């Protein structure tokens, strides 16, 4: 006999919502050419789709004049600042200064007045100034777009919640290299760390702020 579905199993325990706060910021996580260039080690068709969906989200956030922060990964050529992470995933060693794959996808390039944070690990909070920056701006809600769902999005969602921020993930605006980990992590983020919602829901909220 088949057991309960995942949704049924989680019902009543892992099905609450955090909702939007009053002061959101958009975090564009690692939308680098490494994930959207055919033949690159990290290429993922799901990320290409997420970039496509995030173009409109980014435009709406700019119209709403909320803070927008972009992150990308960059290591010293020695790889020492990557610690065990680059030993576990050696392909990361390629992401050094000047490497084309380490640059932002041209469709979601940061504007001149948008902050760019360089990170060495999965979470955008770990070892960076992100938390202090958000706190200084009195941000209470972080909207996460980017890649990958099972890696940097999940890690940032967990740390975001642990630092006291409401976490919102527009499902169409995050991507991974395989649908299995992508869907599993969206399910888990929604169950425990934030709200996974449609892009349209996020854009409607941002438009209301204008």
Within a domain: 4: no
User: What residue numbers bound the domain in which 27 lies?
Assistant: 21-209
Do the domain assignments include residue 98? yes
Q: Is residue 160 part of a domain?
A: yes
Q: What is the pLDDT of residues 65-97, one digit of tens each?
A: 999 999 999 999 999 999 999 999 999 999 999
Residue 101 lies in a domain: yes
Does 186 fall in a domain?
yes
> Tell me: the pLDDT tens digits for 13-32?
777 889 999 999 999 999 99
Give the CA distances from residue 145 to residues 14, 78, 93, in Å, rounded to whole numbers and listed in that order.
23, 30, 24
Q: Is residue 15 part of a domain?
A: no
Instruction: Pick the closest to residue 67 from 126, 148, 159, 130 (CA basis).
Output: 130
Cα dihedral across residues 44, 106, 34, 156: positive or negative: negative
pLDDT digits (tens, 9 = 90+) for 126-170: 999 999 999 999 999 999 999 999 999 999 999 999 999 999 999
The confidence band for 6, taking pLDDT boundaries of 50, 70 and 90, is confident
**Residues with catalytic function:** 152
Would residue 149 count as lying in a domain? yes
CATH label of the domain that carries residue 190: 3.40.50.850
Q: How many domains does the chain have?
A: 1
């Amino acid at each position: 006999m088949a057991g309960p579905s995942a949704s049924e199993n989680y019902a009543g325990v892992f099905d609450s919502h955090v909702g939007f706060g009053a002061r959101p910021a958009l975090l564009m996580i690692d939308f680098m050419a490494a994930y959207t260039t055919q033949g690159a080690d990290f290429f993922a068709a799901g990320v290409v789709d997420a970039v496509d969906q995030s173009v409109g989200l980014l435009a709406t956030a700019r119209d709403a004049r909320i803070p927008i922060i972009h992150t990308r990964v960059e290591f010293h050529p020695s790889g020492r600042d990557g610690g065990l992470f680059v030993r576990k995933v050696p392909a990361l060693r390629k992401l050094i200064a000047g490497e084309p794959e380490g640059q932002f996808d041209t469709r979601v390039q940061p504007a001149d007045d948008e902050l760019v944070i360089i990170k060495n690990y999965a979470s955008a909070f770990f070892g960076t100034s992100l938390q202090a920056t958000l706190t200084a701006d009195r941000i209470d809600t972080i909207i996460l777009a980017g890649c990958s769902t099972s890696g940097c999005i999940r890690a940032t969602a967990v740390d975001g919640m642990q630092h006291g921020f409401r976490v919102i993930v527009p499902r169409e605006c995050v991507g991974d290299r395989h649908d299995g980990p992508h869907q599993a992590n969206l399910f888990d983020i929604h169950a425990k760390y934030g709200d996974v919602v449609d892009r349209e829901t996020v854009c409607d909220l941002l438009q209301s702020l204008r």
